[in-house]
Amino acid sequence: MISQAGQPAGQPNLKKPTALRFRSGLSCVQMKNCLKFGRAAAFAQRRFLNVHEYVGKELMGKYGIDYQRGFVCKTADEVPAATAKLPTQNYIVKSQVLAGGRGKGTFNTGFKGGVKFAKTKEDAVEYSKKMLGNVLITHQTGKEGQKVSKVFIAECLDIQKEYYFAILLQGKYGGPVLVGSPRGGVDIETVAKENPEDIYTQAVDIKKGLTKDMALAFAQKLGFKDVYAEKAADSMTKLYKVMIDKDATMIEINPFVETPDKRVVCIDAKFNFDDSASFRQKEVFAQRDVEQEDPKEVAAEAAGLNYIALDGNIACLVNGAGLAMATMDIIQLYGGRPANFLDVGGGATAEQVTAAFKIIMSDKNVKGILINIFGGIMRCDIIAEGVIKAAKQTGINMPVVVRLAGTNQEKGAEILRKSEFHDKLISASDLDDAAQKIVGLCKK
């Protein structure tokens, strides 16, 4: 059977919550879902690096793990040289985007399929031309899609059996957990929903690690036999070592396959890494592809802000993750939709507030802004100064409702009142008042 590996499981849908997620940490995409559906505020500042498939495969190669070989190409002109290095006569052309569902995706040009089986080198070149430089839209990218800047030209393997394997972090187990299924090559969330008996888990003691015997037993439980079981176990232990050595929060192989020539191969791979470990994983984090990320989120990170774009039209500028979540909840309570999660933190400067305001104003979906500040550590006058500074640079062409409470709230209110924008800044007595006002103004 020829696998195009066009439906990797892993990154959750941007628009829907996933059915199966064992890890305790959340990626930015998962965080968006948490915020959209009002889940725990405790997750608000957990972010994780997601890397391209080819990056994960290069990492596996360094650890001696058998994976689907291939080469990255940035232009179609590089494809003939890539195919010449591969041992097979057929090839798989894979768009490199940070989302799953590539095989079933559609490009903005109308071309269908972000993963293609190429019978010849010429086909590989033609498919690459249709992918590179265009936007691929899948069920995980959202309607805006992601631009394809690289393709992975891979060997085409004959596959006799597909499995699913992942190593995740889960608080319930206090550390890593193996997750596997004999139903590989398909959406694992669907398997968990329709055939939960085919999902197997095995906790790993973080102090003892994954032993060869444990890995072999797990491989056999999934259905691997004889030499295949031994090779699968070997790959599992090596993948576990990658996870520990590189501070990964998730390694997901789908499909994890057997071939007739006795190989056990990682066909598709998804790796997430803990942002908190970026200081000691510089080589890994150098592989981050900011072109695949929301430019507003990249700008916010550079400014030291906690920002995540959502799909509403009421922007929020708040200090504190819990208050930010409460602010978004109350906007929804009164019939509005938040456009972002934005926490300026307790020690924000006027410059950071200015940066936050600019980021908000750059969102074309935003129709109004709610500024909600509780001055505990953060001073209300600093927020006011930042808002005025940003307004002078960007202008104000939409309603802005401001609720200030706590440290220096009178001073902050005075700064706003005496500014040239006083007629465009609407004061609110409390959070209920603020939410009702901004929702009402944005509905006009």
Q: Give the pairing of strands 269-274 and 306-309.
A: unpaired
CA 124 to chain centre: 29
Residues contacting residue 245 through CB under 8 Å, at least 6 positions apart: none
C-alpha span between 293 and 296 (Å, rounded): 9
Query: Measured on CA atoms in the order 337, 340, 341, 346, is the torsion positive or negative?
Result: negative
C-alpha span between 339 and 319 (Å, rounded): 16
Enter the tokens of residue 152: 């992975």
Instruction: Give φ, ψ of 20 to 5 degrees.
Output: -135, 115
Selecting among 164, 173, 228, 240, the annotated active-site residue is: 164
DSSP 43: G
* Cβ atoms of residues 390 and 337 within 8 Å: no
Selecting among 252, 258, 297, 385, the annotated active-site residue is: 252
Sequential DSSP letters for 403-429: EEEETTHHHHHHHHHTSTTTTTEEE-S
Cα–Cα distances (Å) from 42 to 12, 34, 134, 139, 327, in that order, read: 19, 10, 37, 27, 15
Residues contacting residue 233 through CB under 8 Å, at least 6 positions apart: 212, 215, 216, 218, 219, 224
* Cβ atoms of residues 71 and 270 within 8 Å: no
C-alpha span between 41 and 341 (Å, rounded): 11
C-alpha span between 427 and 14 (Å, rounded): 35
Q: Which helix (H) or strand (E) holds 264?
A: strand 264-266
E runs forming strands in 90-138: 91-95, 106-107, 115-118, 135-137
Amino acid at 179: V
C-alpha span between 411 and 308 (Å, rounded): 30
C-alpha span between 325 and 346 (Å, rounded): 15
Instruction: Give φ, ψ of 327 to 5 degrees.
Output: -65, -45
Neighbour order of strands in the sheet with 146-147 = 106-107, 135-137, 146-147
Residue 164 designated active-site: yes
Residue 252 designated active-site: yes
Residues labelled catalytic:
164, 252
